[in-house]
Structure 1
Amino acid sequence: MSPYHALFVDLESDTNPHDNCRQLFRLVENIFSENKLSSQTITFFPPWPVSAIPDLIFMRSSMKISSLDLVHHLRKHWNQAVIYGFFCAKNFDSAEIFQSLASGMDDFFLCTITQKEFLLRLQRLIVWTKQAVNTAPLETVKRIFNHKQLIGKSPSFLNVIEKIPHLALSDAPVLVLGETGTGKELFTRAIHYNSQRHGRPFIPVNCGALPDQLFESEVFGHVKGAFTDASSEKKGLIAEAEGGTIFLDEVDTLSPSAQIKLLRFIQEFEYRPLGSSKSKVADVRLIAATNADLREKVKTKTFREDLYYRLNILKLHIPPLRERMEDIPLLVDFFLEHYALQYRRVKPRISPSAMQKLLAYSWPGNVRELEGVIQQSMVLCLATILQPDNINLSLPLQKDASGDHTFQGAKKQIVVQFERGYLVDLLAKQQGNITKAAKVAGLDRRAFQRLIKKYGIERNTFSVKNVP
């Protein structure tokens, strides 16, 4: 697969095949095709749909659609692409070309150019475009989305970011999977604001907060007199999202009857407001999210199999924070700056030992929990440097695999949680020095080493030199 994608927009495809401008345009297409580079040709306006977001666009306008109008359209949808225009010498209009350049066209070719010169310029252009495209899709997504909280550099995080522009191209349902606190709504908004629907509403719906008896009324709306308290007509959430995206969070919490109603809607995107005799057709993109294993729920008959397959056309899995630990220093820095501005104070630094304490934690609540920890530290500590004592981490809730709910069983769990938390905190303060940590704990070195081995704690993690 090519590292970038080229789009050929030829609105004069029906001209004389021997026309020099047309021959040059076809020459570029053939070069991309012969070298198995990713490309697509569109001969109508507006140029949609496209198979991939273009990084390089070659355009040729027509008598009906001016180059200026074409550039405006291309820049509106693909602001990061490099745009080259083809112009015929016999119809040369310097004012139009100047206006097109001022409106976002990067460069242009006149058909009087020789093939040798043309190929040299094209080669330089392709190298330049490769360099531009390799500056990470993250910045493109963040710029379009205008959201600074998409923070990370880990491979698992960037893998998700790279999928967003492709998911934004389609109108098919997307199922967003991820644990609580991973930022599923944040990534869903990124899909919406990178799509053609970006100028239309984004409506989030917490399915877990919708009472079963109100699902139909809230989602599809109702007419006046539909039920006792329906004193006026009310638009549903589907109608509010018209032309945009409706986001169904915690979709696994829907009751069986609500699942049936949602399934009927997804099949044809038709719905009938409660109490109405007329059906309506919705123009919306549907994205659902869950932190549950829907396949397991399908097996236990608590989630409809047919609805699962309807929702699971496209999928986006958000990794938990423990799988992207190298992003923690970046996230911490962002939250420190954010809350320093909110609380009108100088942004504090975080000591290496405090950072190591954060890096050694498993983060069951993911990014949301990390933000809460940093916010709490900013509220309770006014020091300019945050130390391990200022970082208050909750003891992770351990699942009792044995099912032992006796007093002794509960006591054992509490001891395990305390010991691990104590060891992590102590090693963070001593920067991974086993001898010093054992002395503070009142244990001999070997006994202390057995304890950290028991809980799978790597002492090297706490060394100052390992702070990213």
Structure 2
Amino acid sequence: MGKLPLLNGFIGESTAFREMLAILARVARYDTTVLISGETGSGKEMAARAIHYQGQRRDRPFIPVNCGALPDHLVENELFGHARGAYTDARESQLGLIAQAEGGSLFLDEVDALTAKAQVSLLRFLQDGQYRRLGSSLVETADVRVVAACNSDLSQAVNRQEFRADLYYRLTAMELHVPPLRARENDAVLLARHVVAEAASQYQLAVKDLHPDTVHWLLAYGWPGNVRELQNRIQREFLLCDGPDILVREIAPDSDRRHRADRRIACPATLNFNEAKQQVLHAFERGQLLRLMSESAGNVSGAARLAGKERRALGKLLKKHGIEPEQFRRS
């Protein structure tokens, strides 16, 4: 295994991945609020950390908080802190996360889970950098960059009147979308090999390669849990593997098949005839190429014979779909 491309804590080579990193670098350059969108497990907190550590505040604190994990009545207490006597058990005053992040960045994950009252308080803070601790009349000031994240379309929450429009516009001064793993071409294979190498080092075991069938599965599966799901699954398969390489032949459950790479096509009813035809052909070609590469263990000539095509023509199709034969070969 060669050295993997590791950038800002991310691993990948796909077009979608590199485009995201390019936008991330620009976002980090400007000291303003950011909204990061992306599916669960896709790496939003990692993106937030990369924005912080590439930015002007890299030497100051990075404070993460999962808004969805906080009980409604504690959200404002956690963010803004409280004064002594603010409530029955408040025997001492307490700094909130905003004060702890002074000079640095506050990462608000699942920002759409904030209560209506907390949204108002956050909006006021974003407008002038001022806030009040619970139970205090003293107005305090903090210099903090807010980076927020959500795994849903926050604009739709605004349309449903579940999230304040004025807060949404404050948070979207800059935006970054972290692509799902299924949209990142062959990155699942790179990530899987990285997970194996790290697990081998952690548990002092020999590194094992991926069986060609496992490579096929990695590329065909839709990864609804994204990178986090891949990390957990591949580490488990590695630790339980008794053979010379890691073999997974699992077919995604019916409930997950809509997420598979070869089924991620738009509803034909929304497309004209030619567009629908092209999408179906694209999905068919990719599925067949993955099967051929798996059956031939990455041998392009062998795959061409199986397909009844010329090697050069098959090679062009592999390039068109971004499929690397090396990933199907045994080490």
TM (norm. structure 2) is 0.77
4+ runs deviating over 4 angstroms: none
Tell me, yes or no, if structure 1 residue 339 matches structure 2 residue 199: yes
Cα deviations across residues 288-332 of structure 1 (Å, max 9, x unaligned)?
000111111111111111111111110001111111122122111
> 1:240 & 1:393 partners in 2: Cα distance?
47
> What is aligned with 2:140?
280
Q: Distance in 2 between matches of 1:344 and 1:383?
A: 17
Distance in 1, matches of 2:78 and 2:196, equals 39
State the TM-score, normalized to the length of structure 1: 0.55
CA distance in 1, matches of 2:66, 2:243: 39
Does structure 1 residue 192 correspond to structure 2 residue 21? no
Contact 1:373 1:393 in 2 (8 A): no
What amino acid is aligned across from residue 158 of structure 1 in structure 2?
R
Is the contact made by 1:174 and 1:288 (CA closer than 8 Å) also made in structure 2? yes
- The reply on whether 1:461 has 2:290 as its aligned counterpart is yes
Quickly say closer, same or farther: Cα 1:393–1:202, change in 2 above 3 A: farther
- 1:352 is matched with which residue: 212, 226, 229? 212
Q: Using CA pairs below 8 Å that are at least 6 residues apart, which structure has the higher relative contact order?
A: 2
* Corresponding position of 1:59: none
Matched with 2:255 is: 397
* CA deviation after TM superposition for structure 1 residue 162, in Å: 1.2
1:178 lines up with 2:38 in the alignment: yes
Structure 2 CA distance for aligned equivalents of residues 383 and 375 of structure 1 = 15
Which residue among 232, 254, 271 is the counterpart of 1:372?
Answer: 232
Report the AA paired with residue 157 of structure 2: K
Distance in 1 (alpha carbons) for counterparts of 2:103 and 2:251? 43
1:166 aligns with 2:26: yes
Shift of 1:393: 6.3
Identity of counterpart residues, as a percentage? 45
Distance in 1 (CA, whole Å) between partners of 2:244 and 2:92 is: 57
Per-residue deviation at 1:213?
1.0
Q: Does the residue aligned with 1:463 lie in a helix, a strand or coil? A: helix
2:263 is aligned to: none
Larger Rg: 1
Matched, 1:221 2:81: yes
- Report 1:32-71 matches (<5 A): none
Residue of structure 2 equivalent to 1:317? 177
Q: How does 1:244-259 map to 2 (within 5 A)?
A: 244-259=104-119
Length, aligned pairs only = 273
Query: Using a 3 Å threshold, how does the CA distance of structure 1 residues 259 and 397 change in structure 2: closer, same or farther?
Result: farther
SS at match of 1:388: coil
SS in 1 for 2:40: coil
Cα deviation code 1:378-397 (max 9, x no counterpart): 122132311234xx565263
User: Is the Cα contact below 8 Å between 1:364 and 1:396 reproduced in 2?
Assistant: no
CA distance in 1, matches of 2:252, 2:287: 20
Equivalents in 1 of 2:46, 2:254: separation in Å? Answer: 25
Q: State the alpha-carbon separation in 2 of the partners of residues 358 and 204 from structure 1.
A: 31
The letter of the residue matching 2:137 is S
State how 1:379-458 maps to structure 2 within 5 Å. 379-389=239-249, 395=253, 397=255, 458=287
1:264 to 112, 124, 128: 124
How many Å apart are 1:262 and its aligned residue?
Answer: 1.2
Q: Which runs of 5+ in 2 are unaligned?
A: 261-280, 299-322
What's the secondary structure of 1:198's corresponding residue?
coil
